[in-house]
Structure 1
Amino acid sequence: MIAANIGRIFLDAYNEKNQSNYSAKEFFVEKYYGIFFNHYKYMMSAGNSPLENPKISWDKMRTGQIPYETVEKRNDRFTKTVEKIDTGPADASIAIGFPTLDLTAPTSGQITNLQLPINTDEIYLTWIGSGLGIGVQSGLSLLFSNKQILLDLFEGWQVYRDYLNSTPGLRGNQINTWNGQWIAHRYDKLSYDEANPTASFNPFGTMKDGGIEVNTQSWTKVLIGISRYCHDTTLIAYVYNLNKVNTTVGFIPFDLPRIRKPFELYDKYFGATKQDHVDQLFGTAIGFTKACQMGAIGVNALEPKGFRDCMEKGVVPKYNPTDEEKTINFNTYQIWLLAMLNNEQLWEKAQQIATTLNDYIKSDKSTKTTKSQEVAGLLASVNKKQFIEALISIVKNSTETDQLAKIAEIIHTMPVDNVPYFLTLIRFQYAVANKQSKNE
């Protein structure tokens, strides 16, 4: 029923925008079928409906081993499908996302013997709604109820159809995967050109047999685009996968301002250069499926891969400003920490603390590197107690007691959950200060 609800929201928005009055069946017959199925390559699988011929291999047709079906056969399948929708019971063969009526099948969940009234419009709406799923890496898809997002996805339908018709080696049945690529491109302010929508757009990859397919877009790229475009505080998506065995994750809230924050911070402190590389680094630590298990997705789900050791083990990262890729990775870690702390004042405070510690080491006139060892011990702290204890020995040997007392106060008064993130940010800022000091 979720697909039907999304289909209804889209159809209302479409009619409003185009000053039309399509019913669900009229839109399916006059618009949807023509784009999705009335061609030798489908835009998505028609499942167990009469539209699909289970005896035909799409790959063999694509590679020219067998001929595509004729227009007459497609029309016959279309007629049988409409007839079955209008006269038959609503089941998985004609209503996308509905259970099968076969109680022994793996998709027979939520069966009831109650005769629930199902309007045939709702069945047609499931087809429309299912064409608006946004596929992301991990094999899951998202359905949003936002009208503008749905209309923008619809824009991409014809673009995909044009590619299928003009590219013989391009496989079909990838509408959800296409939607993920399209919406990420559509909402990319740097690359999308309204006058030439497909300029700088290359969503394709090569298959093992030499064919072409639409690559799956990362969930972070999709959500970054949506968060930059949509000014709502929160969007809720239905997360699912329809396959031989259907998977339902459920309704997941997306905190758009918090998702957007690390990218805004990166632009502010380091500029918008290499945006694609930066976008690919956020959200790589846990994957989308585990992110959904958090119950809601915000900045915490955007943790970069490899960061965890720096925080949990007290590792002081290496900083090499001459290596552009490593510098971007380094800066991504810093910005994610700042976004998690949700307090930009802590950026400057971390820099001040790092400078103070670096000056303390430089003041060491002994050859025993005692002060350097003290700072190393301090930076290895992973909680408030360890940090304060390590700071005490430094205070005893320093003339900057007032500055060190301020550092202790910042850590002591900070919420316990924020301390590990702030200590890690200090380690990153210290690596920068230390490198700059050696280059002076």
Structure 2
Amino acid sequence: MIAVNIGKIFLKAYNEKHGSAYQAKNFFIEKYFPLFFDEKKYMQWVTNSPFVQGIKKGAPPSPAERRERLATLTEKVSDSAADASIAIGFPSLDLTATTSGQLTNLNIPLNEEDVYLSWIGSGLGVGIQGGLSILFDRPSLLLDIFQGWEIYREYLNKTIQLRGNQINTWNGQWVTHRYNPRVYDNNDPTANFSGISATTDGGLEVSTQSWVALMYGISSTYPDSQMTGYVYNLGQTNTTVGFIPFRLPQIQRPVHLYEKYFGTSSRDQAERLFGTAFGFEKACQMGAIGINAMEPKGLREFILNGKMPIYNRQDEKKVINFNTYQIWLLAMLNKEQLWEKAHQFAISLNQYALSSEKGKKDKTNHVNTVLSSTTTKQFINNLLVVVEEAADKIPFVEMGKLVHEMPDDNVPYFLTLVRFQFASISK
């Protein structure tokens, strides 16, 4: 049913843009079918539909056979109850089938237009790594996805090795490419496109895009808004994750902060690190995709266990990883002034450690104890020793006051940021 609504939104936007008056059935027959199914290689594989029933590998239907299959579909739409074989996203009417979920005894009014709209909407799903797809309801985004349909068809027709039936995967690559201002050329839309890769058997396929790269692109085009997407998978069994809000300004925030503090030379490498702590489906369990979901892999142990990071300025890859951790922590704190606060406190701790009498490690041990803190109570208790011993007590008293007044949720992030700043300064 969701695909029906997406198809309706798209068709309205398409008619307004082109000054046309397409109904869903006419659009399907005149636009959708020629692109998706009226060639040797399909753009979409709909299980149990008339377009795929009886097809043998290596023996695509002839033009006449493809027209016969279209006629079969239109006849079934007119005469049969809507099920998964003729309406995309609908359940099977067989109660024993793995796609028979969401059945109801309610008489939901459906018409032929809804069935054709479900096909149109299904072609607008955006596939990402992990086997999931997302349906967005933003008209301008849907029109941009449609622009990629014709380009995908051109690729399939001119590239013998490229396998078909990847429309959702293609949409993910296309949107990411289309919304990347650093590579997209409006005069040559396929220039710099890098979404096709080799397979192990010597063929080619559209590679699956990461959700982070996709949402970077969308958030750069719609930077000041929240967008809701329907996350799902249609296959041998159907998976419904549900409606997920994408907080686009939050998704952009760590990238902008990274550029501000570390420049653009390593931005691309840093972008690939954000959002790697867990998979997209787990991120959806948070209820919304925002800055939390952008957490880089490997940082959690520093936050939870008070582990001290190691800074190696000779290893560029590790430096980028190190800086990415810091930026995500700052983005989570959502208060840029805390960057300077953490930096100054790290300097004060380093100066205190260096003030130990020759041959003694007592003040260094004090600092290590403070840095191992993960809660407000631990931090205040461990800081008291430093306050008593320090020649200049003011920066430590001020930091104790800052942490004491900080929301409890922010304290572990701030203390982790201090550890990273100290690791960098002490080197």
Could you state the TM-score of these two structures normalised by the residue count of structure 1?
0.95
1:29 counterpart SS class? helix
Residue 232 and residue 115 in structure 1: after superposition, are their counterparts in 2 closer, same or farther (change >3 A)? same
Matched, 1:2 2:2: yes
Q: Which residue of 2 aligns with 1:181?
A: 173
1:22-421 matches, within 5 Å, as 22-57=22-57, 61=58, 67-421=59-413
Identity score, percent: 55
The answer on whether the counterparts of 2:223 and 2:252 sit within 8 Å (CA) in structure 1 is: no
The answer on whether the counterparts of 2:245 and 2:289 sit within 8 Å (CA) in structure 1 is: yes
AA in 2 matched with 1:9: I
Quote the Cα distance in structure 2 between the aligned partners of 1:131 and 1:262.
Answer: 32
Taking only aligned residues, the RMSD between alpha carbons, in angstroms, comes to: 1.2
AA in 2 matched with 1:21: A
AA in 2 matched with 1:331: N
Return the offset for 1:109: 2.0
Q: Which runs of 5+ in 2 are unaligned?
A: none
The answer on whether the counterparts of 2:352 and 2:363 sit within 8 Å (CA) in structure 1 is: yes
List per-residue Cα deviations over 1:395-417 (Å, max 9, x = no partner): 22211111111111111111111
Q: Which residue of 2 aligns with 1:438?
A: none
Return the offset for 1:219: 0.6
List per-residue Cα deviations over 1:153-195 (Å, max 9, x = no partner): 0111111111111111111111111111111111111111111
Question: Which range is displaced more, 39-48 or 109-118?
Answer: 109-118
Return the offset for 1:51: 1.1
Quote the Cα distance in structure 2 between the aligned partners of 1:375 and 1:130.
Answer: 58
Q: Which residue of 2 aligns with 1:15?
A: 15
Return the offset for 1:69: 2.5
Quote the Cα distance in structure 2 between the aligned partners of 1:276 and 1:184.
Answer: 14
Residue 402 and residue 202 in structure 1: after superposition, are their counterparts in 2 closer, same or farther (change >3 A)? same
Quote the Cα distance in structure 2 between the aligned partners of 1:375 and 1:113.
Answer: 68
Return the offset for 1:365: 2.7
2:64 counterpart SS class? helix
Return the offset for 1:231: 3.7
Quote the Cα distance in structure 1 between the aligned partners of 2:351 and 2:103.
Answer: 71
Quote the Cα distance in structure 2 between the aligned partners of 1:228 and 1:321.
Answer: 31
The answer on whether the counterparts of 2:136 and 2:230 sit within 8 Å (CA) in structure 1 is: yes
Quote the Cα distance in structure 2 between the aligned partners of 1:31 and 1:281.
Answer: 40
Return the offset for 1:115: 4.0
Residue 125 and residue 434 in structure 1: after superposition, are their counterparts in 2 closer, same or farther (change >3 A)? same
Residue 90 and residue 31 in structure 1: after superposition, are their counterparts in 2 closer, same or farther (change >3 A)? same
Q: Which residue of 1 aligns with 2:424?
A: 432
AA in 2 matched with 1:145: D
Question: Which range is displaced more, 219-228 or 361-370?
Answer: 361-370
AA in 2 matched with 1:50: P
Quote the Cα distance in structure 2 between the aligned partners of 1:290 and 1:46.
Answer: 27
Residue 362 and residue 76 in structure 1: after superposition, are their counterparts in 2 closer, same or farther (change >3 A)? same
Return the offset for 1:55: 4.0
